[in-house]
Amino acid sequence: MSAERTQGGSSAGSARAIDGGRFGRGAEPPSERKHEFSVVGRPLPKIDAWTKVTGETKYADDLVLPRMAHGKLLRSPHGHALIKRIDAARARALPGVYAAVTGADLPRVKFGILPVSQDEEVLCTEKVRMVGDAVAAVAAVDEETAERACRLIDVEYEPLPALMSIEESLAHPEIRIHEYGDGPNVHKSVALQFGDVEAAFAKADLVREDVFYYEGNTHLPMEQHAAVAHAGPDGKLTLWSSTQTPHYVHRVLAKALDMPAAHVRVVATPVGGGFGGKTDPFAHEIVACHLSRLTGRPVKIALTREEVFYAHRGRHPVLMWLKTGFTRQGDITGCHIKTWLDGGAYGSYGVASTFYTGVINPVTYKMPVYKFEGARVFTNKPPCGPKRGHGTPQPRFALEVQIDKAAEQLGLDPADMRRRIAAEPFTKTANHLTVTTTGLVECIDRVVEASGWRAKWRGWRFRAPASPAQPVLGEASEGAPEGGARRSEAPSEKKRGVGLACSAYLTGAGTAIYWNDMPHSGVLLRADRSGAVTILCGATDIGQGSDSILAYLPAEVLGIAPKDVHVHPADTSLTPVDLGSYSSRVTLMCGMAAIQAAERLKTVIAKAVAGKLEVGPGELVFRDGKVGAPEEWDKAVTFARAVELAEAMHGVLAFPGSYAPPKRAGKYKGGGVGPSPCYSYTACVVELTVDEETGEVELHDVWIAHDVGRALNPLLVEGQTEGSVYMGIGEALMEGQVFRKGVHKQPSMLDYKSPTTLEMPEVHTILVETDDPEGPFGAKEAGQGPLLPVPPAIANAIYHAVGVRCDEVPIAPEMILKGLERRRQGKAARVGPEKIPVFKFKEPLVVESAFGQPAEAIAVRPFQS
Amino acid sequence: MKTRISLTVNGETHEVLVPVHKTLLEVLREDLGLTGTKHGCELGECGTCTVLADGEPVLSCLALPVELAGCEITTVEGMARGGRLHPLQQAFAELGAAQCGYCTPGILLTAQALLADRPTPTRQEVKAALAGNLCRCTGYTKILDAVELAALRMTGGSRVGDRR
Amino acid sequence: MMRLPPFTYLAPRTLGDAATALAEHGRDAMVVAGGTDLYPNMKRLQFEPKVLVGLRGIRDLRGVRGSAREGLTIGAGTTLSAVAGHPEIAARYPALATAAGLVSSPQLRNMGTLGGNVCVDTRCNYYNQSHEWRKAVGFCMKKDGDICLVAPASPRCWAVSSSDTAPVLWSLGARVRLVAASGERTVEVSALYQDDGIAYLAKQPGEILTEILLPPADGWKSAYLKLRRRGSFDFPVLGVAVALRLEGARVGEARIVLGAVASTPRPADVAAAALVGERLTPELIARVADLAAGPSKPLDNTDFTHPYRKKMTRVFVARALRALAGLDGSGRPVEEVA
């Protein structure tokens, strides 16, 4: 399909000379080599592609060990209840059952991914907080027996009222889901202010206040979570699990099982889809370990699809109030956002999620003044957490739809308006985040051009009589349609529209989950006399291709083929820690660590080869599996020979690489969430048809331009972009994690609506390269950012087609019909939330805005040399 | 109570002794060790467990071995022949059509059946044929591209240098 | 992994043996053809048969016989893919081919049979859930409980008829052959269903549906439209089947049958009667569509809201009639639709 890439680009800040430091000290090849990559930038197959297309890849549930038992969890049928009694005697008596346990059999500790939210029990002992909370577990000869045994466990509950919405939880402070937090049923409340937002509104020509709602949804990885535990006779424990964060699982296992961490090994198996859903440590992982220790057998626990819906940690439902001031020209004078997150029954990553609903918006556009208030509320539903875009798609939806509304009132082309207000490179935002490169302007230009935006936007625009509530301030950019099919030529009930939206996203969180000064990512690189290089790294491949990146980058540095690199990922006993596959951090952080280690190896090899060839180490070039001086290339030695020379001189060739992000956190409480080495930028145009009789939306084309810094492998970047578009479409039009009568309404693949091939439009991916100084060979993230602009671009296109504002997702057909009906009744054709909760945020922490301050081009980082 | 069943999988006949209520999915994975066949729901709602029965895509989670005696079953392990990958496998690897790879076996087999029936399908026909296979990673884009590339190669066409 | 509970599987080679086995095991037994409806329901413990009588080994149950001129006979064991792809069905009974081709997913249609779709269990999103889920919400009367969770004050079950082919077969005037150990009978499809979510089939437990008999196609045109969220997998939450026999430019006979808005396919007889003797003008179509929406009384137990499904009834009936009349959305003639 149509995918294109641009080099360098001419937009502001996009073209930067690459600092020689990245190529090492003293041994770097001639600087022009950076444009002659042998691996970087090439559309190579992933290194694991071959085992994936032949079915050889072993996912967690494919593992079978001798004498293995099968475990099953008994889950609560109540949303909120006290546990009065649990008796597993009948289960234990069932033939084929090896063990049946309750929370009383486990160490009495609570766990959770964030140190500040240690609120989960492995098996609930006193209270259940959601339908699906685990209360007991069985290990048996097979899965059927384990399931039968679970049904024989007697649990006596005393039901409590279940709180199923933000409003209910706030309205009933007397019913407490947890005893901790920032108020009754309030898990976390934050309030930050950067500059005087009221003064900013006073200066504005147009001030808009809008309320938006983004429904919760779930990751729905195709692979259900599974784990196999093996407690050996030596008292050591191994867990193979479908997890994105083996390091955090390692830490939690030691705590929850009260075992020395040194005796625990966690191996992340290839993950069959994650999207953030396998980023928390889960009860089934801990229980499998406990049951294995108890029975002396390996124990597998594989979740059913329904259980995956209860494990969840997906997108938070967020209600948002957004107030923004605009000048006549479209500049933003200031912005104030309030967010209410429905967190579900446990903390998970919720504190971070809460911050993320506020802190990333200022990265995209020039926002001199900014205020953010957010609150996460506990409810008796499966806990929400990080899903692709973690906390940011919701406020992104709000901001991009509001800008579309403002552009209309101001008589501006929404593409031109965004282009004008795009953030400047190498500056700080109001909330003290550092923007390095940004290709946003180029992204906008590219999608505008590729989609034929100008003609379509002017030609097809729905024109409602100007509503008195929304006076047009500027001159509407009318004008005859210049191209594209006129709407009237289509059948009368089918209306075509285009919509545009932009976004930015972080390339790795600047701080770890737990406070520490150690590397975020580490590798060990070993060269072999065979000429092979082995890289050990804690990173977890969840399909995004991190294993391949770990092969490509050393191959690039050392001039060998990716096939000559053996990658050993995600094994806590073998591999240096990588924090995990979340927050779009892996390519950048592991990549930088891998380059560092490879450069160290290269330096030693160069020294040895230089001695042999009697040239200076700086004259040597590593390429095509050889090392030599370019002018005497016939004397170049093979890489394997070079390794032998180096090993003879240096001893065993094994080098570490470490990466930690620059310390750029704002100097205020809460400043640790949001900083990132660099941010990716995206612009998206959607073209669709709305059926005015049925309200059905048909997507035709999506043009998406993504500033990825540098595409280390364009195939993988395109794949991440296309997958993000897909997930954004699902969230915009059909996916929703909704509840009724206290239970999940649709915990199945049939009823939770995931788009099929038939709903998927053609995606035209444009990769923009800005060569960021912070990234490996200039690369930024691609796994999450491209999701963000898709839902608002769809909402804006629907408005463009039929004049209905959908301030809520998912946008069901009946919502559009409701909007059309309202217009027929002479009311505003808007559907979305009508009110916000009664809630008093705490006094904001007032910090001076850092907007526009220059930011250093290259930051100092720990472990840099 | 177990039943002796003769199953022909990837050209090899296996005698298995299994309870009759064990689905083909379970027997393939647990009794024959063919874990290339994956599962996403076990209720016929995702297409992940697709295998071919006499060349037709069916869901192994809803099929009983006792009902398939005499059928020729093909799983992903049976696609490559004599160490050579099927053109679909080759194209999926080359174009990045497998991300997490979990839905890949079912999609490959569904596509294989399509190309056996229609060697040069239109993109819409490929979409229709794969409408029963959910993928959460790729947005299907590279999957459709890969099926088209394989079709071209299998019918003697070539797209080398056309795009990459 | 969700697994099947244990059962005994019988594989009779003849219809007679199957009917005998069914009679012998009484209420403990169920028949299975494609298994695409039965097995998921068994995994969720909605059905708990001790004995399954497999129909796959009975060759007579598969295949299409006869001609559209004299009427076609379709074996109940014919797969939905085979029905959808059958040239004569596609040409002469297009609504049936369309409906069969819209059932679930390609894989399901390769396995599922026409007889299975005609008999498909009624559905409800309080009922098509795992045992644990149903326990959490409180069981309903269709299985393990004693109230209807959609309409708690109601004495009956409101599970939804979710067959794509049933409303079409009804509109085409099809009949089905039912064979039991004690004998056989042929009934109109319109007499096969009853408006009760539990006892939705007017079929004795010992009877096996063996054949679907289509009347001669001459002079008839038919169309089927289906409402659902996605283009694949999803059951209908509204189905509209229309069959017309034209006499010149006027309608000679008409049948409109709605699917997925009640526990049975629901005929819109008043609307159909308003077509007879008339020309298919845009005005008439609008009036008939309004009338057809009358019998559409969905409840809140499927995807989409029930007011939306009701509202769409009018739109879909109008679209089906327009398609058969060769009119586009604005009432202008368009090219012939199959």
pLDDT tens digits along A780-809: 999 999 999 999 999 999 999 999 999 999
Report residue C217 as tokens.
């196609």
Tell me which chain B residue has its CA closest to the CA of residue C50: B21
Same domain, A27 and A65: no
Q: Which amino acid is at A132?
A: G
Same domain, A37 and A106: no
State whether residue A343 is helix, strand or coil.
Answer: strand
Every domain of chain B with CATH number 1.10.150.120 lies at 87-154
**pLDDT value of position A858:** 72
Question: Which residues does chain B have within 8 Å of residue A270's beta carbon, measured at their own beta carbons?
Answer: 100-101
Same domain, A151 and A231: yes
Report residue A521 as tokens.
């990512």
Same domain, A125 and A232: yes
Q: How many CB atoms lie within 10 A of CB A127?
A: 18
Selection from A736, A737, A723, A738 nearest residue A790 by Cα: A723
Reply yes or no on whether the pLDDT at A725 is more than 80.
yes
Inter-chain residue contact B44 with C106, CB threshold 8 Å:
no
pLDDT band at A859 (very low <50, low <70, confident <90, very high): confident
Inter-chain residue contact C125 with A745, CB threshold 8 Å:
yes
Return the percentage of chain A with pLDDT > 70, whole number. Answer: 92
Tell me which chain B residue has its CA closest to the CA of residue C52: B21
**pLDDT value of position C338:** 33
Q: How many Å apart are CA A298 and CA A292, to the nearest integer? A: 5
Q: What is the CATH number of the domain that holds C318?
A: 3.30.390.50
From residue A668, give the alpha-carbon distance in Å to each of A117, A358, A847, C182.
21, 15, 8, 85
Parallel, antiparallel or unpaired: strands A808-809 and A206-214: parallel
Determine contact, residues A784/A723, Cβ cutoff 8 Å. no
Give a three-class secondary structure readout of A141-173: CCHHHHHHHHCCCEEEEEECCCCCCHHHHHHCC
Average pLDDT over residues C114-139: 98
Tell me the shortest Cα–Cα distance from A474 to chain B, in angstroms: 40
Average pLDDT over residues A271-295: 98
Average pLDDT over residues A588-617: 98
Q: Note whether C233 contacts A: Cβ–Cβ < 8 A.
A: yes
Report residue A290 as tokens.
């406990």
Report residue C275 as tokens.
């077509």
Determine contact, residues A137/A73, Cβ cutoff 8 Å. yes
pLDDT band at A459 (very low <50, low <70, confident <90, very high): confident
Strand order of the sheet with strand B56-59? B12-19, B2-9, B72-74, B50-53, B56-59
Residues 6 or more apart whose Cβ sits within 8 Å of residue C297:
C261, C262, C266, C310
pLDDT in tens, A645-670: 999 999 999 999 999 999 988 899 99
Reply yes or no on whether the pLDDT at C335 is more than 50.
no
Selection from B106, B115, B105, B114 nearest residue B152 by Cα: B115
Same domain, A519 and A652: yes
Backbone φ, ψ for residue A207 (5° rounding): -120, 125
The DSSP bridge partners found for residue A324 are: A208, A335
The tally of domains found in chain C comes to 2
Selection from A43, A42, A18 nearest residue A31 by Cα: A18
Among the three residues C59, C84, C100, which one is the final residue of a domain in this structure?
C59
Q: What is the CATH number of the domain that holds A296?
A: 3.90.1170.50
**pLDDT value of position A19:** 32
Q: Which amino acid is at A65?
A: L
| Interior/surface letters A17-45, b for 16+ CB within 10 angstroms, e for the rest | ebeeebbbeebbbeeebbeeebbbbbbbb
The DSSP bridge partners found for residue A375 are: A189, A340
Inter-chain residue contact A751 with C305, CB threshold 8 Å:
no
Cα end-to-end span (Å), chain A? 43
Inter-chain residue contact A43 with B164, CB threshold 8 Å:
yes
Range of the domain at A629: 15-59+512-659
**pLDDT value of position A490:** 44
CB nearest to C107's CB, from B20, B59, B64: B59
Reply yes or no on whether the pLDDT at A131 is more than 90.
yes
Same domain, A45 and A111: no
Q: Is residue A827 part of a domain?
A: no
Same domain, A154 and A235: yes
Using omega within 30 degrees of 0 as the cis cutoff, is the peptide bond preceding A107 cis? no
Inter-chain residue contact A143 with C234, CB threshold 8 Å:
no
Q: Is residue A323 part of a domain?
A: no
Inter-chain residue contact B47 with C36, CB threshold 8 Å:
no
Tell me which chain A residue has its CA closest to the CA of residue B100: A543
CB nearest to B21's CB, from C6, C54, C111: C6
**pLDDT value of position A856:** 79
Q: What is the CATH number of the domain that holds A637?
A: 3.30.365.10
* Cα A5 → chain centroid: 23
User: What is the CATH code of the structural domain delimited by B2-78?
Assistant: 3.10.20.30
Same domain, A254 and A119: yes
pLDDT in tens, C217-264: 999 999 999 999 999 999 999 999 999 999 999 999 999 999 999 999
Reply yes or no on whether the pLDDT at A466 is more than 50.
no
Q: How many Å apart are CA C276 and CA C280, to the nearest integer? A: 10
Reply yes or no on whether the pLDDT at A12 is more than 90.
no
Backbone φ, ψ for residue A590 (5° rounding): -65, -35
Among the three residues A659, A690, A707, which one is the final residue of a domain in this structure?
A659
Tell me which chain C residue has its CA closest to the CA of residue B55: C110
Token pair 């596509």 is found at B111
Token pair 């679909």 is found at B88
Reply yes or no on whether the pLDDT at A491 is more than 70.
no
pLDDT band at A29 (very low <50, low <70, confident <90, very high): very low
pLDDT in tens, B22-31: 999 999 999 9
Q: Which amino acid is at A754?
A: S
Q: Count Cα neighbours of B93 within 13 Å in the Cβ-side half-sphere.
A: 16
Report residue A14 as tokens.
């996009």
- Geometric angle at alpha carbon A768, from B91 and A404, rounded to 5°: 110
Tell me which chain B residue has its CA closest to the CA of residue C106: B132
Q: Specify the CATH superfamily of domain B87-154.
A: [2Fe-2S]-binding domain (1.10.150.120)
Residues 6 or more apart whose Cβ sits within 8 Å of residue A699:
A686, A687, A688, A729, A759, A760, A761, A794
In chain C, residues 272-331 whose CB comes closer than 8 Å to chain A: 303-305, 307-308, 311-312, 315, 328-330
- Geometric angle at alpha carbon A184, from A179 and A188, rounded to 5°: 85
Q: Is residue C264 part of a domain?
A: yes
Determine contact, residues C165/C94, Cβ cutoff 8 Å. no
pLDDT in tens, B134-160: 999 999 999 999 999 999 999 987 554
The tally of domains found in chain A comes to 2
From residue A570, give the alpha-carbon distance in Å to each of A574, A617, A854.
8, 35, 38
Size of interface A-C (CB pairs under 8 A): 82
Burial zone of A825 (CB within 10 Å; 0-12 exposed, 13-18 middle, 19+ buried): exposed
Backbone φ, ψ for residue C129 (5° rounding): -145, 165
Inter-chain residue contact A814 with C232, CB threshold 8 Å:
no
In chain C, residues 40-79 whose CB comes closer than 8 Å to chain B: 40, 43-44, 54, 56
**pLDDT value of position B158:** 59
Reply yes or no on whether the pLDDT at A472 is more than 90.
no
Inter-chain residue contact C3 with A144, CB threshold 8 Å:
yes
Q: What is the DSSP string of A113-129?
A: SSTT---B-SS-SSEE-
Contacts of B among chains (3+ CB pairs under 8 A): A, C
Reply yes or no on whether the pLDDT at A85 is more than 70.
yes
Q: How many Å apart are CA A741 and CA A244, to the nearest integer? A: 33
Average pLDDT over residues A68-94: 98
Q: Is residue C7 part of a domain?
A: yes
Q: Is residue A251 part of a domain?
A: yes
Q: Is residue C93 part of a domain?
A: no
Reply yes or no on whether the pLDDT at A3 is more than 70.
no
Same domain, A34 and A109: no
Inter-chain residue contact A756 with C130, CB threshold 8 Å:
no
Tell me which chain A residue has its CA closest to the CA of residue B48: A222
Reply yes or no on whether the pLDDT at A147 is more than 50.
yes
Every domain of chain B with CATH number 3.10.20.30 lies at 2-78
* Mean pLDDT, chain C, integer: 96
Same domain, A49 and A156: no
Least confident of A735-739, A838-842, A858-862: A858-862
Inter-chain residue contact C129 with A734, CB threshold 8 Å:
no
**pLDDT value of position A493:** 86
Q: How many Å apart are CA A796 and CA A443, to the nearest integer? A: 18
Selection from A354, A676, A712 nearest residue A506 by Cα: A676
Q: Is residue C44 part of a domain?
A: yes
* Mean pLDDT, chain A, integer: 93
Q: What is the DSSP string of A270-318?
A: PPS--TTTT-S--HHHHHHHHHHHHHTS-EEEE--HHHHHHH---BPPE
**pLDDT value of position A35:** 53
Token pair 């390429």 is found at A623
CB nearest to C36's CB, from B41, B62, B129: B62
Q: Is residue C105 part of a domain?
A: no
**pLDDT value of position A16:** 32
Question: Which residues does chain A have within 8 Å of residue B142's beta carbon, measured at their own beta carbons?
Answer: 715, 718-719, 722
Range of the domain at C274: 222-325
Same domain, A136 and A237: yes
Most A CBs within 10 A among C36, C124, C129, C335, hence the mutation to make, goes to: C129
Q: What is the DSSP string of B78-110?
A: GTSBTTBPPHHHHHHHHHT--SS-SSHHHHHHH
pLDDT band at C333 (very low <50, low <70, confident <90, very high): low
Among the three residues A286, A311, A336, which one is the final residue of a domain in this structure?
A311
pLDDT means per 10 residues, chain B with 164 residues, are 94 97 98 98 98 98 95 98 95 98 98 98 98 98 98 80 40
pLDDT in tens, C277-312: 999 999 999 999 999 999 999 999 999 999 999 999
State whether residue C208 is helix, strand or coil.
Answer: strand
Determine contact, residues A136/A86, Cβ cutoff 8 Å. yes
Under DSSP, the state recorded for A521 is: E
Among the three residues C16, C34, C59, which one is the final residue of a domain in this structure?
C59
Question: Which residues does chain C have within 8 Å of residue B111's beta carbon, measured at their own beta carbons?
Answer: none
Same domain, A23 and A137: no
Residues 6 or more apart whose Cβ sits within 8 Å of residue C238:
C226, C227, C258, C259, C260, C261, C296, C298, C309, C312, C313, C316
Q: Is residue C190 part of a domain?
A: no
Among the three residues C59, C82, C97, which one is the final residue of a domain in this structure?
C59
pLDDT in tens, A668-692: 999 999 999 999 999 999 999 999 9
